Amino acid sequence: MTVYPPEFALRYRERGYWIGQTHSALLAGATQAHPSRPAVTDDRRSLTYAELQAGVHGLAHGFAGLGLSAGDRVVVQMPNVSEYLEVVFALFDAGLVPIFALATHGVAEIDDLVTRGEADAYVTVDTFGATRFADIAATIRERHPGVAVVVAELDATAAERPAGTTALAEIRTAQTSSTGRSSQPDELAFLQLSGGTTGTPKLIPRTHDDYLYSVRESADICRLTPESVFGVVLPVSHNFTMSSPGVLGAIHAGAHIVMVGAPDAATVFAAVARHRITQLSAVPPLVAAWIDSPSRTAHDLSSLAVLQVGGAKLSRALAERVPDAFGVVLQQVFGMAEGLVNYTRLDDDLETIVGTQGRPISPDDEVRIVDPTGTPVADGTPGSLQVRGPYTIRGYWAGQSPQSFTDDGFYCTGDIVVRDDRGYLRVVGRDKDQINRAGEKIAPEEVENHLLTHAAVRDASVVGVPDDRLGERILAYVIPATSAQVPLPDEFGIRGYLRERGLARFKIPDQILVVDEFPTTAVGKVSKNAQRDGQDAVDTPDAQVTPHDAILSDFAGKLAIDPATLSGSTALADTGIDSLALMALLDKWRAQGAAGLDFETLATSETLDEMIAVVLAAQTRRAN
């Protein structure tokens, strides 16, 4: 791990940023201050701070008993459930280093993280909603026999746990005190992931001291108190939901964390009303879907005080609608897992809130905006953002991607921003090869590498193109290998191929075009700019026929394809439909009478036919 130079570490301590706190101490402090206040609630259980702390200690002894040594890495892949906090804090207590995988990752990403992170354990769940994590657990067990695989059993009806894995319940002990094995405040606490620009996501080493400084300040900036109720809708392991102010900020404040089971408007708004949620964090496309949903006015949202939006650029037009639509203060958040986080402040004027992505947390965040030659530009002029500060890393894990850091220790974010004379930033573009699809970051090269493994693919080029709904969608250009023994599959087949390789669903191209050649630049490189141009935002045609065909046609309309190209036996996952589009369809079908239909049932349908049957059944139930 690249450490902070001593003179900087000294300064950050002297200024009271690094206070010698560990994550274990964070939870212990909150538990001591508010033992009987609710800490976390999900659809299945609710824990007070004292109960959470007890669960953490009981599990910490279990993890310590797995034969792992201090500093060993553990890949954690769990959905938004209360056990997530127990597991992560138990690992901290036991001196182990979590690697924060996303619940949406496939076996390809998990395998890569286990390998590159040299992990000794993998912790996951059996099944949650549409996702059978147990399948990933079985594969990891097979490919990495030396890695301990621990599965939290959430679903009593799930198939049997894969052979050779350990149930989380089995390692729970009755111990109620700490193992005393936590790492030190200035040591590596965990590895967070970056969306990255290369073939594999980069691992981001964060210390307790640096991360918790940003967490405490974030909780303060977002005004979390013990009365706050923090709703978790985005994946909990994402840096935004973890720390800006996220679940850790909520714990620092002694607030109540509510894990919301699904991101669709009806589920989220019902949870807001039921738990009196005061604060939510979302990405722009989710906010757009929520605003358009009829559910918005069907629930009591009066508890909601702050809606945070970040992860991707929020358009001014959408930003302007947020305060009135939800009766909240909008807060824009522009952050990165590597460090720097910017917030609009809750008492900023409306123009600042809708027109900027905020300003840094710390007076010691050194923001430098440079032109292509590396020369700083004047305020008001766009340039590439570089940053150095008390919670921004000085290097990636294992020295990966050294070119992302300047000689004087600034991290090159790859974001093009404009700074005003008050220090507020506006994000106006990007100079890194990365796709930002609904806040999820995708490295084109990673997807290209997967496409290139297909025998019928000679070459592949992946770009992000503007999309009304997603911000950007993934477009893959593929050149077929003419001499190949196997024919190039159609669009659905290519998606199926990527899915079988275990690539996360959010990285699977929304659109695939087969071409004879790629446009090139003057120097003969593939011109991704040319590939992005001329691709318009897809609009959604409407159609109506028989109930079955109407549903199929709604579905095809969302994908902007001809319904005739869809077959009922196509796997839902291979159609390229994303959860936001599915949510919009759900809203539409509910409004048309499929009142009892829920997101999970829809999303877990295997095939198109199965999904249509589910919708028709819901409509019929209503009609009877």
Residue ranges that bind ligand DBH, judged by CB under 6 A:
239-240, 243-244, 310-311, 333, 335-337, 341
Query: For 615, phi and psi rounded to 5 degrees?
Result: -65, -45
* Shortest Cβ 413–ligand AMP spacing (Å): 5
Query: Among residues 429 and 487, whose Cβ is nearest to ligand AMP?
Result: 429
Query: Among residues 38 and 464, whose Cβ is nearest to ligand DBH?
Result: 464
Q: Which range binds ligand AMP by CB under 6 A, 330-338, 484-492, 575-583, 610-618?
A: 330-338
How long, in residues, is the chain?
624
Sign of CA dihedral 117, 122, 127, 132: positive
* Shortest Cβ 39–ligand DBH spacing (Å): 22
Query: Among residues 287 and 427, whose Cβ is nearest to ligand AMP?
Result: 427
Q: How far apart are CA 123 and CA 86, in angstroms?
A: 12
Give the footprint of ligand AMP on residues 386-445 (CB under 6 A).
413, 415, 427, 430, 436, 441
Q: Assess contact for 42 and 274: CB atoms under 8 A.
A: no
Q: Which range binds ligand AMP by CB under 6 A, 86-94, 180-188, 328-336, 360-368?
A: 328-336
Interacting residue with ligand AMP among 246, 263, 310, 464 (CB under 6 A): 310
Q: How far apart are CA 172 and CA 161, in angstroms?
A: 17
* Shortest Cβ 333–ligand AMP spacing (Å): 6
* Shortest Cβ 78–ligand AMP spacing (Å): 19
Q: Assess contact for 49 and 57: CB atoms under 8 A.
A: no
* Shortest Cβ 310–ligand DBH spacing (Å): 4
Q: Which does 464 bind (CB under 5 to 8 A by kind): ligand AMP, ligand DBH, none?
A: none
Q: How far apart are CA 243 and CA 337, in angstroms?
A: 9
Query: 23-33 vs 246-253: helix axis angle to the nearest 10?
Result: 40
Query: Among residues 364 and 431, whose Cβ is nearest to ligand AMP?
Result: 431
Peptide bond before residue 245 is cis, with ω within 30 degrees of 0: yes
Q: Which does 313 bind (CB under 5 to 8 A by kind): ligand AMP, ligand DBH, none?
A: ligand AMP
* Shortest Cβ 234–ligand DBH spacing (Å): 9
Read off the amino acid at residue 253: A
Residue 529's nearest CA partner among 444, 412, 439, 442 is 444
Q: Assess contact for 197 and 66: CB atoms under 8 A.
A: no
Q: Which range binds ligand AMP by CB under 6 A, 68-76, 334-342, 366-374, 442-450?
A: 334-342
Q: Which does 244 bind (CB under 5 to 8 A by kind): ligand AMP, ligand DBH, none?
A: ligand DBH
DSSP 218-269: HHHHTT--TT-EEEE-S-TTSHHHHHSSHHHHHHHHTPEEEE-S--SHHHHH
Interacting residue with ligand AMP among 287, 336, 387, 615 (CB under 6 A): 336
Residue 385's nearest CA partner among 430, 445, 447, 440 is 430
As given in the structure block, the two tokens for residue 593 are 């009478």
Note whether 331 binds ligand AMP by CB under 6 A. Answer: no
Interacting residue with ligand AMP among 73, 275, 313, 368 (CB under 6 A): 313
Q: Assess contact for 374 and 168: CB atoms under 8 A.
A: no
CA distances to 91, 181, 289, 443 from 3, in Å: 22, 22, 42, 26
Q: Looking at residue 524, what DSSP letter applies?
A: S
Query: Among residues 133 and 334, whose Cβ is nearest to ligand AMP?
Result: 334
Q: How far apart are CA 162 and CA 149, in angstroms?
A: 10
Query: Among residues 58 and 335, whose Cβ is nearest to ligand AMP?
Result: 335
* Shortest Cβ 383–ligand DBH spacing (Å): 20
Interacting residue with ligand AMP among 47, 215, 258, 312 (CB under 6 A): 312
Contact residues: ligand AMP, CB under 6 A: 194-195, 239, 310-313, 332-338, 357, 413, 415, 427, 430, 436, 441
